[in-house]
Amino acid sequence: MKPRLLYVSPVIPFPTGNGRKMRSFFQLQFLRRFFHLTLLVVSIDNDDTKIKALQLENCCDSFFYVYGPRFTFLGKKTYNFLMRTTGGAIWRFLSSFFEFSVFEKASPERLVKLLGPVLEASFDFVQVFRFYMTPVAFALRQGGIKCPFFLDMDDFESETRLSIARLYRLNGMIFKSRIMHREAKAYFQAETEMLPFYDKIFTCSEMDGRKLEKRFSSLNLAVLPNTVAIPKKISNNPSQLVCSLFFVGTMDYFPNFDALNYFAEWILPELRKARGIRWKLEIVGMLPRRSWVEKFKKYPEMRFLGYVEDLSAKYSSAHAAIVPIRGGGGTRIKILEAFAHRVPVVSTTIGISGILAQNGVHAFIADDPVEFAGACVNIFLNSSLAKKIAQNAFELVSEKYNADNACSVLAPVNV
């Protein structure tokens, strides 16, 4: 009989979408081979659970959905009002004080009650996806589940928020920078108090693991990289007439907006200097603010495609995927996807951090706008170099970041 594992997630796992959904989806597919798998989603999003449950048939044996425990502090209407009228600023300010205690201060007994049906079952292991779900782990333990608990950090929350705080300051957004810096301090304290609770902790990169080792001497750590599906059919035949660049990102995540803003203001002018070369940038993602929409209207070379279900066609027509990211954390699945589709990548150092890629071998890495633009032009003009880089990157992602190899750390013999 397979051991029983409870997987706790803040999002509905899915093979497409943002990085959290994709990371959890590929983990579940792997885990189900070795465990009788129960998925518990504790979310502030009111998803249609019946439809989503049907989509989860291939990655779990049973499924529980708990909606709204974070609203027990502010209330859903108050939360929506603050998000609508302040762009989230007041919510971020409040969450900097209550982020880690909303579950507990609202009432730990309330959360235990919400988890009632889950607590009626027994499990051999519990794996928690994302550190901020730790209050759920505490409630499960309080409710009587005494098995080992594992944590998939995925993102180093305090480090990521500190990086975004610097990014806000770089953009002159001092108030938001201070709020994010406060959140970083709160997360740092919460990590110090709560991480020792876990029997094993997975990080998405060796880099994050080393940072944790500096702070904690006794944590049981392992690296669980992000993974992508390797396409069965790969076609990369971009136009020879127009240099086609491609960017994928969730636009309500500020580092992605900053990346496009940085591209438009600093890299785009350098590309325009390349005589005789026509180019375009296609962007998958919706701009959430009207002011941002108006801002990018000044750049006709940049085209927003909105949500795209299947990115294969876009990758096949791209000369390069660009990642001009200047802040944030984790490892970026968008880079691994481009590698898997044999599309050359041009990235900043921060954008490609945590991925075992070498500059000039697997990707082009440039932090200077002139060098970044030059790498894009070089890929367009030198097709043999572009193919070599893309092939090296494909071999890297096939070896290090395919689901079977990367998720092997989750096999029962390792957990």
pLDDT tens, position by position, 150-172: 999 988 989 999 999 999 999 99
| Opening angle at CA 55, ends 51 and 59, nearest 5 | 140
Judged by DSSP in three states, 133 sits in: helix
Query: Which amino acid appears at position 200 of this protein?
Result: K
Q: What is the mean pLDDT of residues 73-81?
A: 46
Domain assignment present for 54: yes
Task: Indicate the residue type of 116.
Answer: G
On the 0-12 / 13-18 / 19+ scale of CB atoms within 10 A, 124 is middle
In the prediction, which pLDDT does 18 show? Answer: 80
Confidence at residue 103, expressed as pLDDT on a 0 to 100 scale? 37
- The helix-helix angle for 333-340 and 383-400 (nearest 10°) equals 110
Residues 155 and 17 placed together within one structural domain of the fold: yes
pLDDT band per the 50, 70, 90 thresholds, residue 73:
very low
User: What's the whole-number mean pLDDT along residues 123-135?
Assistant: 91
Same domain membership, residue 211 and residue 287: no
Q: What is the pLDDT of residue 113?
A: 80
Q: Which of 140, 157, 139 is nearest to 201 (CA)?
A: 157
Q: What digits encode the pLDDT tens for the residues 203-260?
A: 999 999 999 999 998 899 999 999 988 888 887 778 788 899 999 988 878 999 999 9
- Given CA atoms 55, 247, 153, 179 in this order, what sign does their dihedral have? negative
Q: What residue numbers bound the domain in which 369 lies?
A: 242-400
Within the chain, how many helices (H) and strands (E) appear? 20, 13
For residue 300, pLDDT beyond 80? yes
- Token match 């136009």: residue? 239
Give the Cα separation of 162 and 157 in Å (integer).
Answer: 9
Residue 1: which pLDDT band, with cuts at 50, 70 and 90?
A: confident
SS3 per-residue string spanning 40-85: EEEECCCCCHHHHHHHCCCCCCEEEEEECCCHHHHCHHHHHHHHHH
259 three-state secondary structure: helix
Are 274 and 185 members of one domain? no
In this predicted structure, what is the pLDDT of residue 266? 96
Rounded Cα distance, 407 and 320, in Å: 28
Q: How many CB atoms lie within 10 A of CB 276?
A: 4
Joined together, the tokens standing for residue 311 give 């990115």
| CATH number for 76 | 3.40.50.11930
Q: Tell me, yes or no, whether 234 lies in a domain.
A: no
| C-alpha–C-alpha distance, residues 377 and 274, integer Å | 8
How many alpha carbons fall within 13 Å on the CB side of residue 370?
0
d(CA 306, CA 282): 10
**Is residue 29 a part of any domain in this protein?**
yes
Amino acid at 171: N
Residue entry with tokens 């885990």: 31
Cα–Cα separations (whole angstroms), residue 83 to 92, 94, 105: 9, 12, 22
71 is a domain residue: yes
Residue range 267-299, pLDDT digits in tens? 999 999 988 889 999 998 777 666 667 788 889
Is 409 a member of any domain?
no
Residues 322 and 204 in one domain: no
Do 49 and 196 reside in the same domain of the chain? Answer: yes
Question: 3-class SS at 5?
Answer: strand
140 and 287 in a single domain? The answer is: no
Between the alpha carbon of residue 249 and those of residues 165, 257, 306, the distances in Å are 19, 8, 10
Query: Would you give the distance in Å from CA 311 to the centre of its chain?
Result: 17
Together in a domain, 255 and 201: no
DSSP bridge partners of 252: none
Q: Answer whether 379's CB lies under 8 Å from 344's CB.
A: yes
212 and 259 co-located in one domain: no
Q: Please tell me the chain's helix, strand, coil percentages from 3-state DSSP, rounded to the nearest 5.
A: 50, 15, 35
In angstroms, the CA 39 to CA 41 distance is: 6
- State whether 188 and 259 are in the same domain: no
Number of domains in the chain: 2
Q: Are residues 75 and 214 in the same domain?
A: yes
Task: Look up tokens 């609770």; give the residue.
Answer: 197
For residue 341, give the amino acid letter.
H
Q: How many CB atoms lie within 10 A of CB 273?
A: 10
Q: How far apart are CA 389 and CA 344, in angstroms?
A: 6
List the strands of the sheet with 4-9, edge to edge.
62-67, 36-43, 4-9, 125-129, 149-152, 200-203, 221-223
Q: How many residues does the chain have?
A: 415
